[in-house]
A = this chain, B = another copy of it.
Amino acid sequence: MRGSMYVAVIITLPFAAWSDEGMWTIDNFPSSRVSEKYNVDVDEEWLRSAQLSTTRLENGCTGSFASGDGLVLTNNHCTWGCIQNLSSDKRNLSDEGFIAKSREEELQCPGQQVSVLVNLDNVTNDIANTIGGLADAEANEARKAKLTDLESACEEAAGDKLRCEAVSLYNGGQYFIYTYKRYDDVRLVFAPELDIAAFGGDPDNFNFPRWCLDMSFLRVYEDGKPASTPNYLRWRESGPQDAEPVFIAGHPGSTDRLFTTSQLKMLRDDVIPLWLLRYSELRGRMLAWKDTSPEAARIVQQRILGIENGIKVRRNQLKALHDDEMMAIKADQEAQLRKSIAADPELQLAYGDAWNLIDNAIQAHQNMYEEHLFIENSAALNSELYGYARTIVRGVAERERPNNERLRAYTDAALPQIEQRLFAARPIDKNYEKLRLTFSLDKMREWLGPDSKYVHRILGKESPESLAASLIEDSRLDDPAYRESLWKGNEKELKASDDPMIQLALAIDPDARALRTRYENDVEAPRVRGEEKIADARFRIYGTDTYPDATFTLRVTYGAVEGWEEHGEMIDSFTHTNRLFERTTGQRPFSLPASWSRAREDLNPDTPFNFSLTTDITGGNSGSPIVAGDGTLVGLAFDGNIHSIAGDYWFNQDNNRTVGVNTAIILEALKVVYDADHLLDELTVVQ
């Protein structure tokens, strides 16, 4: 499938001018390149408008303002957590969908936060000055302390409702402080039924042609009232044209395109296989447990889809990393860069050891990978109640220390978000908790071995089943008031708690912190130093006309509505309503909700439904607005095709496609299927 032209070009030019590759920061957007290729003028104002009308959902998604009253368009799958938290055995908002007929009926999403980027400040020099001359481990600590100080200074200067976050771009090539306006009262306005939002379920996930109404509306509130959001997008009624240039603003979560070949190899041989084995088994346990009762099915329905999504992503990541041709290109690029460095004594002195630093870090990581994963990263204790316990135990201890000496997750800048999540009332199903905790304790024993000191410390003479049962039954951490009281107390009070989950978290913490320290010194410190060196070398040799790996910060990408060739046949860029009904079998995940079956005759069979486009996005972009050159919203990004998963490592213009929901079907569905005239009235729809 991969054409030779693509292969040739990527070898000689790191970022091919003619391709739509790149998740660009707004301060370095390639406007002239876009103007040349697509004849669209993306100026400062255009970018500023995109910035202010795009939102980050703090659960890992993107959204866009759809009205001046805080209405946010995002994906349905970005609101599954909220829908779960608002559902009960009496009311299944996932199966039934939800529509607030008035603002009074809008339901607050527990713990949900929405942010808008309002400022960005380059602090690369501050960091360089701070770590200059320090050994790797000291530099690692000093770098973090400085970032914490910079965040604090920013928040003090910014005042209420603004939050400051340090960002590393280009794997340490640049450091920024990003300032966000953050909304912490977020309410559910509208969500279609899961059967149409995720029509085709896991089998169709990452597939195209596709028919998903994967959209929801949220609304951000301030002081109990809908927030005023003057920067919002007008919607185009007809959606995009075929071949039309389009742009996506959003928060892509993570890519590894700047990884060294040795880092990719560790992903391929260690990280991804272990993840896949664990989650394939958990998927199986959840699928079998789902059949034990309707309530169990309700609890795990969307969680299973989430795991299945992760499995499909990782097995296609693995497939990509087994592509010898692409890996050879990566190796060639790396060899070219190292050759360029070696050719210049000054560069060689400054950057020549970068790959050794990273390889040492990998070796150290492989020597502790399972222990660090299961104990410090809590893979042994897959439980929301344990997550609360760990947060409380760490937070209460860390708060006692000076801000810039704390673990970065517990700095003053981070505490409000922690508390928002910790104090939110969310339903916890104890049977499901037992299922996942039993599973993860069992995997700990499997991967660390029954004679591991960590396994002995955690299990003692218990089995995974018996320990999980007693921990979950006896813990009171499902009560938000109890969590709040523990959080607000001191370490002595915490140690006096009789909650078994708290006691377990306290008992493991010394082991976990020891593993963390070892990881920071032996893995993180040399890796970050090595990555910084490579980033600097790339800037000096290739210039700054490049984009950084995704970091869940605002990016803009460009492209066009376009299909692709698969096994010699062209895939059309649009799907239409008629084939949705043809694809229906009556059996999940290919069954339609009653509302759609009823509306069949009233829906225009020719309405465009989903579409594919050449933009370069990844997970975290879910819910991103797809905007035309004229600034109108024409679609809503919700997925990529199967080839887009390789985009974690490289962008292939030939077949990497974004998949979006057309504004045409959203508007028609709101009108014909859901009678949501009050929402249509709130939108600004143009022809």
The residues of A with any CB-CB pair to B shorter than 8 Å are: 200, 202-204, 207, 269-270, 273, 276-278, 280-289, 292, 311, 315, 318, 322, 435, 439, 445-446, 449-450, 461-463, 466, 585-588, 590
Contacts and interface: CB of A to CB of B under 8 A. Distances in A.
A217 to B, nearest CB: 29
A370 to B, nearest CB: 12
Contacts of A446: 202-203
A163 B272 CA distance: 47
Main secondary structure of the interface of A (DSSP, over half): helix
Nearest to A278: B280
Contact of A277 (B207, B276, B445): B276
Nearest to A587: B463
Nearest to A589: B463
Contacts of A202: 446
Contacts of A273: 273, 276, 315, 318
A232 B517 CA distance: 61
Nearest to A287: B285
Contacts of A311: 277
A446 B586 CA distance: 19
Contacts of A435: 288
A585 B311 CA distance: 35
B463 A269 contact: no
Contact of A587 (B204, B449, B462): B462
Nearest to A321: B269
Contact of A288 (B200, B269, B284, B322): B284
A284 B308 CA distance: 14
Contacts of A315: 273, 277
Contacts of A590: 450, 463
Contacts of A287: 281, 284-285, 288
A270 B278 CA distance: 18
24 contacts: A203-B445, A203-B446, A203-B450, A204-B450, A270-B322, A273-B273, A273-B315, A276-B277, A276-B280, A277-B277, A277-B311, A277-B315, A280-B281, A281-B281, A281-B287, A283-B284, A285-B287, A288-B289, A288-B435, A292-B292, A450-B590, A461-B585, A462-B587, A463-B585
Contacts of A281: 280-281, 283-284, 287
A363 to B, nearest CB: 13
A35 to B, nearest CB: 40
**This protein's copies in its complex:** 2
Given A277-B280, A282-B284, 8 more contacts: A200-B450, A273-B273, A273-B315, A280-B284, A284-B285, A285-B285, A286-B288, A462-B587
Given A269-B322, A285-B287, A286-B288, A466 B280 contact: no
A270 B323 CA distance: 11
Nearest to A462: B587
Nearest 4 A/B pairs, CB to CB: A284-B284, A288-B288, A463-B587, A280-B280
A183 B287 CA distance: 43
Contacts of A322: 269-270
A587 B203 contact: no
A280 B446 CA distance: 13
B277 A587 contact: no
Contacts of A200: 450
Given A280-B284, A283-B281, A284-B285, A461 B587 contact: yes
A352 to B, nearest CB: 23
A451 to B, nearest CB: 8
Contacts of A285: 284-285, 287-288
A113 to B, nearest CB: 33
A201 to B, nearest CB: 9
A378 to B, nearest CB: 20
Contacts of A283: 281, 284
A351 to B, nearest CB: 26
A287 to B, nearest CB: 6
A292 B445 CA distance: 23
B280 A587 contact: no
A321 B286 CA distance: 31
Contacts of A445: 203
Given A283-B281, A284-B281, A322-B269, A449 B203 contact: yes
Contacts of A276: 273, 276-277, 280
Contacts of A292: 292
A202 B450 CA distance: 10
Contacts of A466: 587
Contacts of A439: 284
A470 to B, nearest CB: 12
A586 B450 CA distance: 15
A270 B318 CA distance: 10
A613 B288 CA distance: 41
A301 B183 CA distance: 51
Given A281-B284, A285-B287, A207 B449 contact: yes
Contacts of A462: 585, 587
A588 to B, nearest CB: 7
A286 to B, nearest CB: 7
A314 to B, nearest CB: 10
A5 B41 CA distance: 67
Nearest to A586: B461
A136 B323 CA distance: 29
A435 B203 CA distance: 19
Contacts of A270: 322
A635 B516 CA distance: 46
A332 to B, nearest CB: 19
Interface centre among A269, A276, A322, A450 (most CB of B within 10 A): A450
A203 to B, nearest CB: 4
A319 to B, nearest CB: 9
Contacts of A463: 585, 587-588, 590
Contacts of A461: 585-587
